[in-house]
Structure 1
């Protein structure tokens, strides 16, 4: 027996430029669970310096919603459309949103791995820090850091050598 209630899932909304925080605020006021990652930076004007909060991903807001209710969200004048993938609204897994939330927080100290055993293209496990437990591919190894690709999220991440561990293959 099927139920009419669909499960809520994370989706990405494309917004008008510089409207991310306002869209997130208005949707949250309407009762939706939203996530608009931000960071604070110091900006210099000719007459002053000021701390400003900017979106980490310009023109995007994440919302947890049932797919059949997504048209209600687009009633906001600054919400332009949902992000689509292969003709369907792109759905993000809960663990990816949580991993990104951890990434936006503070990093923690970790132990080291022997870098001589690793080469570009190897698959590794991030063992501590914000993406703890996430598998990644090595793109580039430098003296002080390592560039990883998180294929499920489609993002590059630079971390310290001690933040990763080899996978048993």
Structure 2
């Protein structure tokens, strides 16, 4: 059951990445599917309390980040700015929230930062190719990264629900 669920997650993430790269948008119903399947997998592997704690911290991180981003653009323009669909797409925000269900807080921070760095590399590559489209498929890039993480889980049997693995790896 675990492998089947992970393969469904990979397929779903692949569809999301494809849609974001090709159409620069993702079908709305894919986000609740990703959220529900990730929650189901996480709760099957840990327990509800660990999931609730991890998701709460990750959701708080995303909320604070979006609030600070909104505050920055509001101060810059000297008026209140709604950043959704102007500076960042709604699909990107929904993806951040859905992906928050798959990782412990430290792993989510690494996933988030690495995803943003990959997006920056993609943006530079995009500028060098002088593409007309100025939108960056952030959710698509992060979906590809989550495919890599999910594949890692399948082949290594190491999950991203506990911070102990990464803390030991970092020797903190």
TM-score (norm 1): 0.27
Higher helix share: 2
Greater RCO between the two (CA within 8 Å, min separation 6)? 2
TM-score (norm 2): 0.27
Higher strand share: 1
Q: State which structure, 1 or 2, has the greater radius of gyration over its C-alpha atoms.
A: 1
